[in-house]
Amino acid sequence: MRWHLRHFSYLSGLALAGAARAQTDAPLAAPIEAVTVTELPASGPSYVAPDALFGQPNGGWNMQTPVTDIGKEAYSLTNYIMNPMMAAVAVLVLILLAWVVFRYRAAANPVASKTSHNTTIEVVWTVVPVLLLAVIAVPSFRLLANQYDPPKADITIKAIGHQWYWEYEYPDQGGFSFDAVMLTDEESAARGSPKLLDTDNRVVVPVGATVKVLTTASDVMHSFAIPSFWVKMDAVPGRINETWFKVDRPGVYFGQCSELCGTKHAFMPIAVEVVSKAEFAAWVAAKQSENGIEPPAAETAATTAVEAAVEGPAA
Ligand SMILES: [Cu+2]
């Protein structure tokens, strides 16, 4: 129903803007104002204040600080192996090129050289790149294998892309679902959040839990992406993709749809709140009562299992 309301208000906003423009030649109203829902929840697990150093762009040239093991592995591979290698190769090629341009210029070589083969250098320029690729392949395949071989999931959430907001389902916790619509600049400022990245309802997950994310979409292709988790998975209508993350640091982490999905592709952010187990349990209980879900015994057992898994073996 919210979908219809939202789109109705979007369409009526456009119609009104069109009418206004026809009469007064006023500029077309920005449709984003018309779609944003302002029914903000009064409270969440606390609406953890975002930390400018984590989970959001901070204006630097580097990637966001990774907060998952996979993210840290990928960060090291990129910054300490790939980038230095690329820089070294680029510099070497630049030096060789400059040397050739200078040393073998026409003015200094009135009689052109007839040299066409040099076995030694041909072996070198074949073997060295192969070795470089081998050096890259080992950590690269290890990362790939780790990404696609997740530990057993503690909880599962389903992220459904819509034009233009995300909907989340918690199948293990009674199947409640909610929409997450982008906040206006004023609402973001009130929460201390960066512009265009926070949503009215955030995805809430327990700290230290392995979270399996199933992605799909209702209309066109979207992509569920959170840079600081090293997570990016296409959300495709009619099929389910799977990704996962495990965050050991409580906080708020932001992401965005990363598949060009329409005019408001840039305005369907993802906000994940990583909270303690107790806060997560309280949030789940609130969501269940809000949705009229009686927590079944099996579900309580599942929650206990999550807690046990998150806590790890007793010391
Ligand atoms: Cu999208």
Residue 53: what pLDDT?
Answer: 85
- Residue 33: the pLDDT is 44
Query: 79 and 137, same structural domain?
Result: yes
Distance 123 CA to ligand 1 centre (A): 49
Cα(235) to ligand 1 centroid in Å equals 8
Q: Can you give the pLDDT at residue 192? A: 87
The pLDDT of residue 311: 57
Please report whether residue 282 resides in a domain.
yes
* Structure tokens belonging to residue 79: 């910054």
- Same-domain status, 201 and 227: yes
Judged by DSSP in three states, 85 sits in helix
**pLDDT at 46 (0 to 100):** 53
Instruction: Tell me, yes or no, whether 237 and 297 share the same domain.
Output: yes
For 14, the domain range is: 1-35
Distances (CA, A) of 293 to 78, 177, 299, 305: 45, 11, 11, 20
Cα of 179 vs centre of ligand 1, distance in Å, is 14
Asked whether residue 219 falls in the same domain as residue 253, the answer is: yes
Residue 313 domain flag: no
| Number of domains the chain is built from | 3
308 Cα–ligand 1 center, Å: 35
Ligand 1 centroid to Cα of residue 106, in Å, is: 56
C-alpha 266 – ligand 1 centre gap (Å): 8
Cα of 45 vs centre of ligand 1, distance in Å, is 26
Give the CA distances from residue 169 to residues 61, 202, 216, in Å, rounded to whole numbers and listed in that order.
35, 12, 11
CA of 256 to the centre of ligand 1 (A): 8
Q: How far away, in angstroms, is 77 Cα from ligand 1 center?
A: 29
Q: What span, in angstroms and rounded, lies between the C-alpha atoms of 288 and 283?
A: 9
- Residue 48's pLDDT is 77
List, in order, residues 6 or more apart from 41 with CB less than 8 Å away.
200, 201
How many angstroms is it from 40 CA to the middle of ligand 1? 22
In the three-class reduction of DSSP (H, G, I as helix; E, B as strand; rest coil), residue 167 is classed as strand
Identify whether 230 is part of a domain. yes
What pLDDT, on a 0 to 100 scale, did the predictor assign at position 214?
97
Distance 295 CA to ligand 1 centre (A): 33
How far apart are the CA of 125 and the centre of ligand 1, in A? 44
What distance in Å separates the CA atoms of residue 200 and residue 242, rounded to the nearest whole number? 25
Angle at 233 between CA 256 and CA 272, to 5 degrees: 45
Asked if residue 197 and residue 53 are part of one domain, the reply reads yes
138, part of any domain = yes
**Structure letter (DSSP) for residue 256:** E
Residue type, 224: F
Whether residues 53 and 182 fall in one domain: yes
Q: How far is the CA of 74 from the centre of ligand 1 (A)?
A: 25
Expressed in angstroms and rounded, the spacing between residue 234 Cα and the centre of ligand 1 is 10
- From ligand 1's centre to the CA of 267, what distance in Å? 8
**pLDDT for 50:** 84
Distance CA 218, CA 298 (A): 30
Q: Is residue 226 part of a domain?
A: yes
Which DSSP string do the residues of 177-225 spell out, in sequence order? EEEE-BPPHHHHHHHTPPTTT-BSS-EEEETT-EEEEEEEESSS-EEEE
Spatial separation of the C-alpha atoms in residues 253 and 65, rounded to whole Å: 11
Which pLDDT value is given to residue 190?
86
pLDDT of residue 127: 97
Evaluate whether residue 99 is within a structural domain. Answer: yes
- Give the residue from 307, 288, 279, 313 showing the smallest Cα distance to 208: 307
- Ligand 1 centroid vs 299 CA: distance in angstroms? 32
For residue 106, with 0-12 CB atoms within 10 Å meaning exposed, 13-18 middle and 19 or more buried, which class applies? exposed
Same domain, 13 and 73: no
Residues 82 and 176 in one domain: no
For residue 314, being part of any structural domain is answered with no
Determine the distance separating the centroid of ligand 1 and the alpha carbon of 197, expressed in angstroms. 13
* C-beta separation of 223 from 233 below 8 A: yes
How many A from CA of 242 to the centre of ligand 1? 17
Whether 182 contacts 37, CB under 8 Å: no
What is the pairing mode between strands 222-226 and 251-257? Answer: antiparallel
Each residue's pLDDT, cut to its tens digit, for the chain (315 residues) gives: 344 444 444 444 444 444 444 444 444 444 444 444 445 555 555 577 888 889 998 888 899 999 999 999 999 999 999 999 999 999 999 999 999 999 999 999 999 888 889 999 999 999 999 999 999 999 999 999 999 999 999 999 999 999 999 999 999 999 999 999 999 999 888 888 899 999 999 999 999 999 999 999 999 999 999 999 999 999 999 999 999 999 999 999 999 999 999 999 999 999 999 999 999 999 999 889 888 888 765 555 555 555 555 555 543
Residue 292 domain flag: yes
| Cβ-based neighbour number of residue 131 at 10 Å | 9
Cα 298 to ligand 1 centre (Å): 35
**Residues whose CB is less than 8 angstroms from the CB of residue 199 and which lie 6 or more positions away in sequence, other chains included:** 165, 166, 180, 181, 182, 183, 269, 270, 271
User: Do 134 and 162 share a domain, yes or no?
Assistant: no
Alpha-carbon distances of 119 from 54, 124, 125, 205, rounded to whole Å: 52, 9, 10, 60
Distance (Å) from CA 180 to ligand 1 centroid: 13
What is the 64 CA–ligand 1 centroid distance (Å)?
A: 21
- At 310, which helix (H) or strand (E)? helix 297-311
